[in-house]
Amino acid sequence: MTQKHIISRKLRRVFIKGPKKVKMVFKKRKHSKQKCGNCGKHLGGTIRERPYKMRTTAKTKKRPTRKFGGVLCPECTKKELKKRIRS
Interface residues toward other proteins, by CB under 8 A = 65-67, 74, 77-78, 81-82, 85
- Cite the DSSP H helix spans in 1-87: 4-7, 51-56, 74-86
**Which of 34, 62, 74, 76 is close enough to bind Zn ion by CB under 5 A?**
76
Closest CB 41 distance from Zn ion, rounded Å: 5
Decide: 27 and 14 in contact? Cβ < 8 Å. yes
Residue 31 DSSP code: P
Residue type, 75: E
Closest CB 53 distance from Zn ion, rounded Å: 27
Nearer to other proteins among residue 58 and residue 85 (C-beta)? 85
Closest CB 68 distance from Zn ion, rounded Å: 10
38 Cβ partners below 8 Å, 6+ apart? 72, 73, 76, 80
Residues in touch with Zn ion (CB under 5 A): 36, 38-39, 41, 73, 76
